[in-house]
Amino acid sequence: MYEKPLPAVDPESAPYWSALKDNRLILKYCRDCGRHHFYPRALCPHCHSDALEWSDARGTGSIYSFTVARRPAGPAFKTDAPYVVAVIDLDEGARMMTNIVTDDIDAVRIGQRVAVQFDAVTDDVTLPKFRLA
Amino acid sequence: MAKREAVIVGVADVPLKDGKVLTPMSVLQAQALAARDALADAGIPMREVDGLLTAGLWGNPGPGLLPTVTLSEYLGLVPRFVDSTNIGGSAFEAHVAHASMAIEAGRCEVALITYGSLQRSEVSRNLAGRPSVLTMQYETPWGAPTPIGGYAMAAMRHMHEFGTTSEQLAEIAVATRKWAALNPGATMRGPLSIEDVLKSPMISDPLHLLDACLVTDGGGAIVMTTAEHAKALGRKAVHVRGYGESHTHWTTAAMPDLARHIAAEVSGREAFAMAGIGHDAIDVVEIYDSFTITVLMTLEALGFCQRGEGGAFVSGQRTAPGGAFPLNTNGGGLSYAHPGMYGIFLLIEAVRQLRGESGERQIKDAVTALVHGTGGMLSSGATCILSTR
């Protein structure tokens, strides 16, 4: 039984979470300014265009910043601590939060290359975690 | 008719012992007691309050969803100007700005700003994230300890870009404790060394337990009116010379630059431009210290030092009593009190300093103060420049 918080999927986010169930990480791409963004929005946060489409991310990027959670984010994460929470820059230019899956948390550094690793935590939700590439 | 000018004319906070209110009470009761004392300080009866401003995390979900509505009912008031702007712990600096605009536009005569929290007595705080709905569905599942995890990632990035060290962050906690030692109302007053901070448990790398603010109760209130009204009351008025507010994000990944407090850059720039003064004119500074890194990044954002130079700026106990840059003179959120949203207490301390009521910790001849609140995850900034002239 998975007891950690799960995303409250809504009509806007449903395609994103649905693609993850098929082990695909997808981003919104703006046809007007040519930039990707994360999380998916109705209007491009860079140029406010509505000419957006979904595109497949390569699933690679680098660590922009991170922390090692020595104290858990509530009881559900207690057995995981210590664990790595990071903000990563995907190679498409979008930035997202994730976990870095590693046996050596003390070796994690800003700038390290990472690759997506899909974790089906329930039948309905697959989380896009990352490992050092 | 002369232009109406808004001033602060009364402040009060609820006394604490060991971070808790002295007798068990409700959060509405705490705000009512603070309001009563602030109005007594101003010499204005409660019935004259016609502007009400509050923000809080109390009674939510429930009556706290509409906080001014609930509070005005509880106090027996029918205001004609209301504002429950909630942008996190900086909300109260924004309230002073909004109340100033309302008073100067003639939309109210006496504005009451309150805050209350019983989070320590109620043991209601933990590190769990926000409900994972809407924007938070992309963050809460990752288990960042909240809010410290976001601040930790900002600190990690600041260290990476500028070489900022844990020792430099600890300088802030140590200097702030020295101010708390001079404040009989502060929660933590015992001696503290840089080594103590570095040896305290790591909570979320690179932030230690003693890089983080306290978890306490607290209640506070501020009364504002016109300069003319204050003069008629024979009360010492604190003028609001400048203000500004902004916010950039709430989810950590959406922060435009994790090593840069852009909301504070905007609010500070607005406040200084409105006041028409430079940094040298500021005698005392009260900056929101949810974490040590918050202070360091805010000092840079407000222009007291260059970007990346915050670590050097706070080194050598420059912000401690007797130092060149008096900062967080009541002992701050780090050592005085931190009841969830701390911003109102920054204002209360600045007013007391400007009125010369701060006892052992008084900054001699303080005329002008800068107060800066930060809310959320370095999300919002609101700045006020206050002066007795």
Please check whether residue A1 lies inside any domain of the structure.
no
Residue B185 lies in a domain: no
- The answer to whether B138 contacts chain A (CB < 8 Å) is yes
Position B366 in a domain: yes
Q: Is the dihedral of CA A74, A77, A80, A83 positive or negative?
A: negative
Residue of B332, B291, B340 lying closest to B124 (CA atoms): B340
In a domain, A40, yes or no: yes
d(CA A57, CA A53): 12
**Domain assignment of residue A34, given as a range:** 14-132
Torsion of CA B259, B146, B211, B370, to 10 degrees: 60
Total domains present in chain A: 1
Nearest to A87 among B160, B202, B258 (CB): B258
The side-by-side arrangement of strands in the sheet containing A36-37 is A36-37, A26-30, A52-56
CATH number for B318: 3.40.47.10
CB contact under 8 A, B126 and A74: yes
Residue B194, SS3 per DSSP: helix
Which of chain B's residues have a Cβ under 8 Å away from the Cβ of A77?
Answer: 143
Beta-carbon separation of A8 and B133 below 8 A = yes
- Of B131, B141, B258, which is closest to A65 when you measure between CB atoms? B258
DSSP result, B356-384: T--GGGPPTT--EEEEEEEETTTTEEEEE
Q: How is residue A22 written in tokens?
A: 């098929």
Please check whether residue A122 lies inside any domain of the structure.
Answer: yes
**Among B76, B6, B8, which residue's Cα sits nearest to residue B39?**
B8
In a domain, B167, yes or no: no
Beta-bridged to residue B247, according to DSSP, are B380
Say if A110 is an interface residue toward chain B (CB within 8 Å).
Answer: yes
Q: Is B100 a member of any domain?
A: yes
What is the bridge-based pairing of β-strands B368-375 and B380-387?
antiparallel
Distance from CA of B33 to the nearest CA of A (A): 33
Each residue's pLDDT tens digit, A86-133: 999 999 999 999 999 999 999 999 999 999 999 999 999 999 999 999
Decide if B256 touches A, using CB distance below 8 A. Answer: no
Kindly report the nearest CA distance between residue A109 and chain B, in angstroms.
9
pLDDT at position B229 is 98
Distance in angstroms (rounded) separating the CA atoms of residues B387 and B355: 10
Q: Is position A7 within any domain?
A: no
A95 vs B253: CB contact, 8 Å cut-off? yes
- Could you say which of B143, B254, B258 has the minimum Cβ distance to residue A64? B258
Taking the Cβ of residue A118 and every Cβ of chain B, the question of whether any pair is shorter than 8 Å is answered with no
- The reply to whether A6 falls in a domain is no
Answer yes or no: is B152 within a domain: no
Q: What is the pLDDT at residue B274?
A: 98
| Cβ-Cβ contacts under 8 Å, B135 against chain A | 39
Q: In which domain, by residue range, is B331 found?
A: 6-123+213-387
List the 4-33 stretch of A: residues with Cβ below 8 A of B: 4-10, 13
Q: How far apart are alpha carbons B386 and B363 in whole angstroms?
A: 15
Pick among B142, B156, B161 to test the A interface (most A CBs inside 10 A) = B142
pLDDT at B126: 81
Catalytic residue numbers of B, as ranges: 288, 336
B160-182: pLDDT as tens digits: 999 999 999 999 999 999 999 99
Cα diameter, chain B: 62
DSSP chain A: ---S------TTTHHHHHHHHTT--EEEEETTT--EESS--SS-TTT----EEEEE--SEEEEEEEEEESS-SSGGGGGG-SEEEEEEEETTS-EEEEEEE-S-GGG--TT-EEEEEEEE-SSS-EEEEEEE-
pLDDT at B125: 77
We report the CATH number of the domain holding residue A27 as 2.40.50.840
Please give the Cα distance from A94 to A116 (Å, whole number). 14
Tokens standing for residue A37:
């963004």
Summarised one tens digit per residue, pLDDT across range B310-365 is 999 999 999 999 999 999 999 999 999 999 999 999 999 999 999 999 999 999 99
Would residue A32 count as lying in a domain? yes
Tell me which residue in B134, B156, B254 faces A67 most closely, judged by beta carbons: B156
Q: Is residue B312 part of a domain?
A: yes
A97 and B154: CB-CB below 8 Å? no
For residue B132, is it within any domain? Answer: no
Cβ A8–B152 below 8 Å, yes or no? no
Is A74 in contact with B252 (Cβ distance < 8 A)?
no
Count structural domains, chain B. Answer: 1
Query: Which of A28, A67, A85 best probes binding to B when mutated, by most B CB atoms within 10 angstroms?
Result: A67
Return the pLDDT at B203.
Answer: 98
Q: Which contiguous run of DSSP H or E holds residue B226?
A: strand B218-226
Encode chain B (389 residues) as per-residue pLDDT tens digits. Answer: 569 999 999 999 999 999 999 999 999 999 999 999 999 999 999 999 999 999 999 998 899 999 999 999 999 999 999 999 999 999 999 999 999 999 999 999 999 999 999 999 988 778 998 999 999 999 999 999 999 999 999 999 999 999 999 999 999 999 999 999 999 999 999 999 999 999 999 999 999 999 999 999 999 999 999 999 999 999 999 999 999 999 999 999 999 999 999 999 999 999 999 999 999 999 999 999 999 999 999 999 999 999 999 999 999 999 999 999 999 999 999 999 999 999 999 999 999 999 999 999 999 999 999 999 999 999 999 999 999 98
**Structural tokens at position A23:** 């082990």
Identify the three-state secondary structure at position B36.
helix
Q: Using a cut of 0.80, tell me whether the model's pTM lies above it.
A: yes
Residue B146 lies in a domain: no
